[in-house]
């Protein structure tokens, strides 16, 4: 009984009596939508795992078997495939909203959120490889090879992940097990993310997280989260009408280790990082830039200053940062030729320049406005 009461009190504190700012707009729905999509991906992925075989000779065929032979297998596969894109759409919206409203002031919330982002990128990459198609196989070869730049242990780590001297069926099994287990670790970190958020309170459209404008989370914000149903309806309709528009044609060709695609392109949500990687001809520097494109945002947790008169400048810089990220994503799918070989390094510099300018301004804001 004590356990049941404690659980009920915990749920009540998280979803009913939680003090929440009355100025939260629909952009705060991004977080709740991400929670829904995460559960949706775990459910659909579990059903797909029942029929999937992590074997290099059978993986591609079992995906086709799920599509054509398993009852309603096609709908689970289509929803799971497009669910990954839906997750990243709201993940990027959630991050950009956090930058707009300076949510990095909530240090534990910000850092746990970035950790979730990194783990979700790993999860999405491994799921992409499981199809064992031409593009996903060669993406696995390229991305895992990047780990060889780690001093001393790099080649050993690559060989361990490959379970040999190349990407083989053993590598596929390794990725399958991790792809199945990692979402549960992500769920635990998401729970910690929520606990950190509820202990500090959320930021708001007033750029505040004090105790003077609070209302109970339920029923107001439970009702507001119900707007997510509209997004789900749009997602279902678009997934059924355009099931594979976000995929690549090479994903319908079985993996051939003897012949690589003419132009290797990752999924759209990795394109900005891929463009940064390709922009630098040196492998080591390219991998460092790739990592720093995300790790940089951990440094925002070092900001201890907050100056209200900088909010307009912050919004302007974040808006420019979003534009540069979108252009980098477009450049990531372009051929390696002029003028794209010039534009990719240019916008990579702009990307990092804006990020560090934003960080620098708020790190020194007390000195600027003393």
**Among 4-18, 94-108, 153-167, 283-297, where is mean pLDDT lowest?**
4-18
Instruction: Give the C-alpha separation, 252 to 64, whole Å.
Output: 10
Q: Tell me if the bond preceding 219 is cis, omega within 30° of 0.
A: yes
Instruction: Give the C-alpha separation, 130 to 132, whole Å.
Output: 5
Give residues with Cβ within 8 angstroms of 353, minimum separation 6.
none
| Confidence (pLDDT) at 367 | 47
The pLDDT tens digits for 252-307 are: 889 888 888 888 888 999 999 999 999 998 889 999 999 999 999 999 888 776 55
Q: In which band, very low, low, confident or very high, does the pLDDT at 369 lie, cut at 50, 70 and 90?
A: very low
| Confidence (pLDDT) at 203 | 72
As a whole-number percent, the residues of the chain with pLDDT over 90 amount to 51
User: Is 6-255 in CATH node 3.40.50.300?
Assistant: no
| Confidence (pLDDT) at 368 | 47
Q: Which residues of 260-272 are buried (b: 16+ CB within 10 A; e: fewer)?
A: ebeebbbbbbbbb
Residues designated catalytic: 198, 202, 224-225, 267
- Whether the per-residue pLDDT at 366 is higher than 80: the answer is no
pTM (2 decimals)? 0.89
236 close to 82: Cβ distance less than 8 angstroms: no
The pLDDT tens digits for 2-15 are: 555 666 766 665 66
Ranges assigned E (strand) in the chain: 19-21, 214-216
Backbone φ and ψ of 20, nearest 5°: -130, 145
Instruction: Give the C-alpha separation, 213 to 253, whole Å.
Output: 56
Structural tokens at position 94: 């959630």
Give Rg (Cα) of the chain. 22
The pLDDT tens digits for 49-87 are: 999 999 888 999 999 999 999 999 999 999 999 999 999
What's the sign of the alpha-carbon dihedral 65, 68, 69, 74?
Answer: positive
Instruction: Give the C-alpha separation, 135 to 267, whole Å.
Output: 10
325-328-329-333 Cα dihedral, nearest 10 degrees: 180
The pLDDT tens digits for 185-237 are: 999 999 999 888 877 777 765 656 555 566 666 666 666 777 889 999 999 99
């Amino acid at each position: 009984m004590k356990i049941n009461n404690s659980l009920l009190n915990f749920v009540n504190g998280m979803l009913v009596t939680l003090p929440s700012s009355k100025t939260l707009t629909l952009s705060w729905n991004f977080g709740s939508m991400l929670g829904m999509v995460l559960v949706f991906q775990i459910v659909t992925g579990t059903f797909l795992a029942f029929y999937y075989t992590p074997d290099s000779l059978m993986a591609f065929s079992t995906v086709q078997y799920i599509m054509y032979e398993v009852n309603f297998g096609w709908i689970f596969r289509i929803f799971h495939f497009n669910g990954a894109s839906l997750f990243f759409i709201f993940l990027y919206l959630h991050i950009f909203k956090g930058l707009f409203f300076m949510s990095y002031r909530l240090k534990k919330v910000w850092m746990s959120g970035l950790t979730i982002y990194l783990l979700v990128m790993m999860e999405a990459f491994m799921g992409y490889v499981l199809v064992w198609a031409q593009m996903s196989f060669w993406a696995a070869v390229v991305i895992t090879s990047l780990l060889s730049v780690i001093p001393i242990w790099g080649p050993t780590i690559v060989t361990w992940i490959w379970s040999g001297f190349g990407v083989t069926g053993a590598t596929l099994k390794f990725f399958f097990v991790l792809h199945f287990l990692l979402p549960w670790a992500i769920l635990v970190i998401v729970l910690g993310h929520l606990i950190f958020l509820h202990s500090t309170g959320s930021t708001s459209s007033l750029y505040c997280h004090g105790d003077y404008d609070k209302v109970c989370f339920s029923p107001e914000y439970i009702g507001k989260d119900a707007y997510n149903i509209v997004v789900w309806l749009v997602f279902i309709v678009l997934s059924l009408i355009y099931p594979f528009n976000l995929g690549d044609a090479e994903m319908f060709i079985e993996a051939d280790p003897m012949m690589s695609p003419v132009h290797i392109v990752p999924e759209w949500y990795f394109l900005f990082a891929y463009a940064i990687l390709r922009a630098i001809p040196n492998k080591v520097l390219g991998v460092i830039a790739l990592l720093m494109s995300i790790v940089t945002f951990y440094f925002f947790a070092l900001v201890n200053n907050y100056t209200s008169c900088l909010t307009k400048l912050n919004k302007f810089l974040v808006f420019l940062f979003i534009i540069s990220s979108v252009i980098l994503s477009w450049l990531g799918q372009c051929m390696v030729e002029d003028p794209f070989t010039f534009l990719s390094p240019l916008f990579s510099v702009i990307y990092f320049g804006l990020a560090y300018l934003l960080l620098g301004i708020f790190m020194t804001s007390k000195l600027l406005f003393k």
